[in-house]
Amino acid sequence: MARDVSDSTPVTSRDQLVAWSEAGAKPLDQFRIGTEHEKLPFYRADLRPVPYAGRASQGGIRALLDGMQNALGWEPIIEGGNSIGLYDGAGSAISLEPGGQFELSGAPLASAHETKAELDRHFQTLKTVAEPLGIEFLDLGMSPKWTRHETPIMPKQRYQIMARYMPTVGTHGLDMMFRTCTVQTNFDYASEADMVKKLRVSLALQPLITALFANSPFTDGKLNGYLSMRSEIWRHTDAARTGMLPFAFEPGMGFERYVDYALDVPMYFVKRGDHYHDVAGASFRDLLAGRLAALPGERAILSDWANHLSTIFPEVRLKRYLEIRGADAGPMPFLCALPALCFGLFYDTSALDGAWDIVKNWDDEARETLRAEAPRLGLGAKIGNRLLRDIARDVLALARQGLIHRAQRDAMQNDETMFLEPLEAVVAGKSQAENLIHHFKTKWNGSVDPAFSECVF
Q: What is the pLDDT of residues 79-97, one digit of tens each?
A: 999 999 999 999 999 999 9
Please give the span between the terminal C-alpha atoms of the chain, in angstroms, as a whole number: 20
Q: Indicate whether 372 pLDDT > 80.
A: yes
Mean pLDDT of all residues in 117-131 = 98
User: What local confidence, expressed as pLDDT, does residue 5 receive?
Assistant: 61
Per the DSSP assignment, residues forming a β-bridge with 104 are 37, 94
Give the pLDDT of residue 158: 97
CATH architecture of 14-454: 2-Layer Sandwich (3.30)
Q: Residue 230's pLDDT band (boundaries 50, 70, 90)?
A: very high
pLDDT for 201: 98
Average pLDDT (28-45) is 98
Give me the helices (H) in 271-387, please.
Answer: 284-289, 302-309, 332-346, 349-359, 364-377
Q: Tell me: pLDDT of 6 over 80.
A: no
pLDDT of residue 336: 98
Q: Give the C-alpha distances (Å, rounded to integers) separating 40 from 27, 141, 310, 448.
A: 37, 9, 22, 15
Instruction: Tell whether the model's pLDDT for residue 234 goes beyond 70.
Output: yes
pLDDT per residue over 63-74, tens digit each?
999 999 999 999
Q: Can you give the length of the chain in residues?
A: 457
Kindly state the average pLDDT of the residues 188-215: 98
Q: What is the pLDDT of residues 389-442, one digit of tens each?
A: 999 999 999 999 999 999 999 999 999 999 999 999 999 999 999 999 999 999
Give the residue-averaged pLDDT of 349-378.
98
Q: Is the pLDDT assigned to residue 206 strictly greater than 80?
A: yes
Average pLDDT of the residues in 345-370: 98
pLDDT at 1 over 60: no
Q: Is 243 helix (H, G, I), strand (E, B) or coil?
A: strand
For all residues of the chain together, what is the average pLDDT? 97
Q: Tell me phi and psi for residue 130, to 5 degrees.
A: -80, -35
What mean pLDDT is predicted for residues 44-69? 96
Mean pLDDT of 176-202: 98
pTM, full prediction? 0.97
26 pLDDT exceeds 80?
A: yes
**Rounded CA separation 2/369 (Å):** 32
What are the backbone dihedrals phi and psi of residue 30, each rounded to the nearest 5 degrees, phi first? Answer: -105, 5
